[in-house]
Structure 1
Amino acid sequence: MPQITVDCYHPSDDAFDQDGFARALHEATVEIAAAKPEACKTLFRYIDACQFGYEDPEDDEHAIVHVTIGLLAGRAEETKARLTEAVLELLGTYVAPEDGVTLHASAEVRDLDPSYRKFERV
């Protein structure tokens, strides 16, 4: 906990500073949601294809970055909303504009299901 997943479509490696984003996101998660720094982990998943309305996917005019943060239950809705807003601000900072590409950035902070368990091996 927290479980952070970043789904990405199109932003080039040069446009998205993943390392800087992850570090800043972990700091925000610790500050806003009282997470432990060592518990923060972020998984980046790149998507190969995406469709926007009726547009030709070959046009490459859109990029998507969606961040999902799963936290153990018990945080106030205001805390989750503050963290969501912080994520969007960070995306604006760490995803550079690309000519002719519209960035669609979104974020969600949700409670992990009560069945959540984790396992670590050293």
Structure 2
Amino acid sequence: MPQISVDYSSSLAGTFDRRGLGLAINRLAEETIDAKPDSCKTVFRQSEVLVVGTGGRPGDAQVFVEFQIFPGRSPEAKAALSEGVLKLLAEYVRPAPGTRLFTAVDVADIDRECYRNAALQG
């Protein structure tokens, strides 16, 4: 734990180093919420369509980062994690000129009693 998902607009696919960003996010989680290094798992999912409001623009793009973590972290630690991720997004994601980029981060507690995981060897 944590489980980290990064959803991003397809127009951003060639504009940033996903592995580099994932490693930076994982390091930040270690530093801010005391996550164990091997427990950070970050997945990237490309979105084909972004609709903003009732108008939107063809050049709109978004990166949304979601953390699922076990309870027990302080609100201050969660806020520091969110702020740190926004800074990393500004550093790593370089949209094309004219692109309106929306970024957001959510840190949510997962229900420890219901969560299960397994690692399988192939």
Q: Same fold (TM over 0.5)?
A: yes
Please give the per-residue CA displacement for 1:73-116, whole angstroms capped at 9, x wherever unaligned.
11111100000000000000000131110110000111112311
Deviation of 1:60 (Å): 2.4
Unaligned residue ranges in structure 2 (runs of 5+): none
CA distance in 1, matches of 2:59, 2:98: 6
- TM-score under structure 1 length normalisation: 0.91
- TM-score under structure 2 length normalisation: 0.91
Runs of at least 4 residues off by over 6 Å: none
* Count of matched residue positions in the alignment of Structure 1 and Structure 2: 120
Deviation of 1:10 (Å): 3.6
Instruction: Report the secondary structure of 1:25's partner residue.
Output: helix
Unaligned residue ranges in structure 1 (runs of 5+): none
Aligned to 1:92: 90
Aligned to 2:119: 120
CA contact (8 A) 2:13 2:46 kept: no
CA contact (8 A) 1:10 1:62 kept: no
Instruction: Report the secondary structure of 2:87's partner residue.
Output: helix
Please give the per-residue CA displacement for 1:1-53, whole angstroms capped at 9, x wherever unaligned.
10000111144322122111111111100011111111111111111112122
Q: Alignment identity in percent?
A: 37
CA contact (8 A) 1:63 1:101 kept: yes
Paired residue for 1:76, among 74, 77, 99? 74
Please give the per-residue CA displacement for 1:51-86, whole angstroms capped at 9, x wherever unaligned.
122336xx5211100000111111111100000000
CA contact (8 A) 1:10 1:64 kept: no
Aligned to 1:107: 105
CA contact (8 A) 1:11 1:64 kept: no
RMSD, aligned CA: 1.4
Instruction: Report the secondary structure of 1:83's partner residue.
Output: helix
Q: Which piece of structure 1 moves more, 77-86 or 110-119?
A: 110-119
Distance 1:97 1:50, change over 3 A: closer
